[in-house]
């Protein structure tokens, strides 16, 4: 199964449950937005894996010049209906068409963990962000992915595709598990200065066996000059 394309199969459902009522203001979105107070009008901003574009509408309201990219043609269709005049395209986050040093800001929420090879994603981000530019990403916490391993002899260090139940159990997505080492490699730390690291509990994510553990983490990092 092509994990990058799975959202095509439930784009309409994702958009519906993601955008309405409680979900549209759900905690992880507000936590993510709360660390974006550095965004200034005119900044060139890419939402990497922008989904249905709901966040792009918010980033645009801050005055940013917004760009969106996502693997799902179905979700991009919805995003383009929301923002017809903006540059929103189908593409893969580890092989984008953007020129070197294109963006002041790159944001990515609950998406890049879908890649089996985090190093290739960070390499691409480091290429297309400007020196001094800011990256903020939110990804599924490795603890959560560890608990999603069904095998009783689950190995934290071994990558396997796990099933994650999201948006209050309304959708199941599949993604490769990751370790913290994959997010904080020597290459990443050489390219970026970390300015913020937050672990958070996600009220909309399944808590397996009634355990309480973080659902995601947020990193804010600046590309070295």
Ligand X SMILES: C[S@@+](CC[C@H](N)C(=O)[O-])C[C@H]1O[C@@H](n2cnc3c(N)ncnc32)[C@H](O)[C@@H]1O
Q: Per-residue x/- mask for ligand X, residues 6 to 45, rule CB under 6 A?
A: -x----------x---------------------------
Residue 145, classed as helix, strand or coil, is helix
Residue 63, classed as helix, strand or coil, is coil
Q: Is 109 in the site for ligand X (CB under 6 A)?
A: yes
Q: How far is Cα of residue 66 from the mean position of the Cα atoms in its chain?
A: 16
Q: Is 135 in the site for ligand X (CB under 6 A)?
A: no
Q: Residue 208 gets which letter from DSSP?
A: G
Q: Is 114 in the site for ligand X (CB under 6 A)?
A: yes
Question: Looking at beta carbons, which residue is closest to ligand X?
Answer: 51
Which range binds ligand X by CB under 6 A, 33-41, 47-55, 148-156, 198-206? 47-55
Which range binds ligand X by CB under 6 A, 64-72, 78-86, 127-135, 146-154? 64-72
Which range binds ligand X by CB under 6 A, 106-114, 142-150, 177-185, 190-198? 106-114
Q: Which of 88, 125, 92 is nearest to 106 (CA)?
A: 125
Q: Is 113 in the site for ligand X (CB under 6 A)?
A: no
Alpha-helical segments (H) within 4-141: 6-9, 11-19, 21-24, 27-33, 54-61, 73-82, 118-128
């Amino acid at each position: 199964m092509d994990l990058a394309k799975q959202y095509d199969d439930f784009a309409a459902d994702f958009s519906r449950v993601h955008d309405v009522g409680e979900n549209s203001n759900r905690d992880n979105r507000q936590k993510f937005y709360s660390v974006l107070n550095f965004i200034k009008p005119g900044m060139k901003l890419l939402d990497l894996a922008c989904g249905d574009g709901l966040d792009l509408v918010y980033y645009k309201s801050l005055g940013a010049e917004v760009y969106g990219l996502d693997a799902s043609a179905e979700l991009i269709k919805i995003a383009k209906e929301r923002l017809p005049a903006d540059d929103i395209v189908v593409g893969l986050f580890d092989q984008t068409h953007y020129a070197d040093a294109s963006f002041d800001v790159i944001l990515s929420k609950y998406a890049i963990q879908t890649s089996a090879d985090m190093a290739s994603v960070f390499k691409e981000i480091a290429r297309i962000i400007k020196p001094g530019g800011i990256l903020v990403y939110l990804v599924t916490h490795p603890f959560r992915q560890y608990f999603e391993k069904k095998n009783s002899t689950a190995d934290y260090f071994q990558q396997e595709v796990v099933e994650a139940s999201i948006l209050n159990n309304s959708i199941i997505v599949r993604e490769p598990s990751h370790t913290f080492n994959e997010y904080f490699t020597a290459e990443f730390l050489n390219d970026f200065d970390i300015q913020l690291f937050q672990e958070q509990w996600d009220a909309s994510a399944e808590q397996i066996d009634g355990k309480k553990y973080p659902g995601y983490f947020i990193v804010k990092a600046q590309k070295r000059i």
